[in-house]
């Protein structure tokens, strides 16, 4: 007898690029006993709500702050996000069964057994009166995993049929199946790096990669970045924002070089490493390869052209960019799916991806 149920919730995602808090209303028809698990799904209203400049500065400074700073920001951000959820619910006249929040990552050190996301779920629940599921990563980390990436959950259950899935947010990550098992990992710094450089020109971001397209590749910088051990390390692996700020960003801070050159080099570094990762660790199949691309980087036409150029020697590669709602809100959709799986008792952290000792049902619940 089927145990299928509908789960309706809000997915919340705040990425390392700090471009806003993504909120998406989603519903899933789930049968835990079926092979498909997700029998049907839809995404309704979705918005990216701006993060005020004072919060951006606070979040950027927090990794170097005190324990008191961290504790105060954790609670305050939860209250703030709770208010944003309330406003969203009022605007769209929706009353979800749950809210699934990724939180904003401050530290990600899985090798030390730590992955810290702030934005207190208890505060969100108290503010909204809706049960909140959060802290999805630590259960997997406690089992020896990376706690990331979690994208294959959506790739497998919501968007089947592609050879590779590339999400280009603050950090880019790729996922795919090889020999019947899912593999996923971060390929390198993406929008958070490009946006940091664009701010030198007084821009929030380099729209379409127009500035980068005017530059030239600084091969010396590129070689030094690509020599960092992370890029030759086999999966499972994932990146910490602090590592990017400390180990990669300084290579691009030499203002004796034109900004366009540095942006161009940052784009090329990501494109080459992503293509290399897909060729080296992915399926060795031949023929037409279909790559599903999401995240804000999908709108960077120069980056997309460099990805295509670096993948071209591989053969026939089709870059598939879905509709705008999926491009922009796939990660919020993913959070809602993780929340629904948590409530249904289905593993939402996959050991074959993260390197944990076993699959786990991740997420703390605040009623």
| 134 belongs to a structural domain | yes
- DSSP per residue over 185-199, as a string? EEEEE-HHHHHHHHG
Question: CB neighbours of 199 closer than 8 A, spacing ≥ 6?
Answer: none
| 154 belongs to a structural domain | no
In 3D, which of 210, 224, 298 has the Cα closest to residue 259? 210
Are residues 132 and 123 in contact, defined by beta-carbon separation less than 8 angstroms?
no
The answer to whether residues 181 and 307 belong to one domain is: yes
Gyration radius of the chain over CA positions: 20
The answer to whether residues 186 and 225 belong to one domain is: yes
The answer to whether residues 357 and 276 belong to one domain is: no
The answer to whether residues 165 and 302 belong to one domain is: yes
The answer to whether residues 60 and 180 belong to one domain is: no
The answer to whether residues 184 and 248 belong to one domain is: yes
The answer to whether residues 74 and 132 belong to one domain is: yes
pLDDT confidence of residue 284: 66
| 167 belongs to a structural domain | yes
pLDDT confidence of residue 159: 97
| 155 belongs to a structural domain | no
Domain count, the chain: 2
| 182 belongs to a structural domain | yes
Give 108's strand partners: 115
Residue 279, both tokens:
């060729």
Domain boundary pick from 287, 304, 321: 321
- pLDDT tens for 17-32 read 788 999 999 999 999 9
pLDDT confidence of residue 286: 66
The answer to whether residues 205 and 274 belong to one domain is: yes
- pLDDT tens for 311-340 read 988 888 899 999 999 999 999 999 999 999
- pLDDT tens for 164-193 read 999 999 999 999 999 889 999 999 999 999
| 97 belongs to a structural domain | yes
The answer to whether residues 126 and 186 belong to one domain is: no
Eight-class DSSP state of 246:
I
Residues (pLDDT < 50) of the chain are 1
CATH number at 215 reads 3.30.420.40
Burial class (CB in 10 A: 0-12, 13-18, 19+), 86: middle
Q: Beta strands of the chain (E only): which ranges?
A: 5-14, 21-30, 38-49, 98-101, 104-109, 114-118, 132-134, 164-168, 171-178, 181-189, 289-294, 317-320, 364-366
| 153 belongs to a structural domain | no
Give 30's strand partners: 5, 38
Domain enclosing residue 175, as ranges:
160-321
pLDDT confidence of residue 3: 77
The answer to whether residues 123 and 177 belong to one domain is: no
pLDDT confidence of residue 184: 93
The answer to whether residues 334 and 286 belong to one domain is: no
The answer to whether residues 143 and 207 belong to one domain is: no
pLDDT confidence of residue 139: 96
């Amino acid at each position: 007898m089927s145990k299928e149920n509908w789960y309706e919730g809000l997915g919340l995602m705040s990425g390392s690029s700090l471009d806003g808090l993504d909120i998406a209303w989603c519903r899933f028809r789930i049968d835990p006993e079926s092979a498909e698990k997700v029998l049907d799904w839809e995404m309704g209203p979705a918005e990216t709500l701006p993060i005020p400049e004072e919060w951006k500065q606070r979040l950027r400074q927090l990794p170097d702050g005190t324990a008191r700073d961290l504790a105060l920001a954790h609670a305050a951000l939860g209250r703030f996000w709770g208010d944003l959820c309330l406003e969203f619910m009022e605007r769209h006249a929706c009353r979800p069964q749950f809210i699934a929040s990724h939180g904003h990552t401050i530290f990600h050190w899985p090798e030390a057994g730590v992955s810290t996301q702030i934005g207190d779920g208890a505060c969100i629940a108290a503010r909204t009166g809706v049960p909140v599921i959060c802290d999805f990563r630590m259960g997997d980390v406690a089992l020896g995993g990376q706690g990331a990436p979690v994208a294959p959950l959506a790739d497998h259950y919501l968007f089947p049929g592609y050879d590779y899935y590339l999400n280009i947010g603050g950090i880019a990550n790729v996922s795919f199946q090889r020999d019947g098992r899912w593999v996923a990992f971060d390929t390198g710094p993406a929008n958070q790096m490009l946006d940091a450089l664009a701010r030198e020109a007084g821009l929030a971001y380099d729209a379409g990669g127009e500035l980068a397209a005017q530059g030239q590749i600084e091969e010396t910088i590129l070689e030094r970045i690509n020599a960092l051990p992370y890029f030759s390390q086999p999966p499972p692996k994932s990146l910490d924002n602090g590592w990017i700020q400390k180990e990669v960003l300084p290579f691009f801070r030499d203002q004796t070089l034109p900004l366009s050159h540095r942006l161009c080099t940052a784009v090329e570094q990501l494109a080459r490493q992503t293509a290399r990762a897909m060729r080296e660790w992915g399926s060795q199949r031949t023929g037409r390869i279909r790559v599903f691309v999401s995240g804000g980087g999908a709108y960077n036409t120069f980056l997309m052209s460099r990805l295509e150029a670096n993948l071209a020697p591989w053969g026939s590669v089709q870059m598939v960019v879905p509709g705008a709602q999926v491009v922009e809100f796939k990660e919020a959709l993913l959070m809602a799916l993780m929340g629904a799986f948590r409530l249904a008792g289905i593993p939402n952290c996959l050991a074959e991806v993260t390197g944990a000792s076993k699959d786990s049902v991740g997420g703390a619940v605040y009623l």
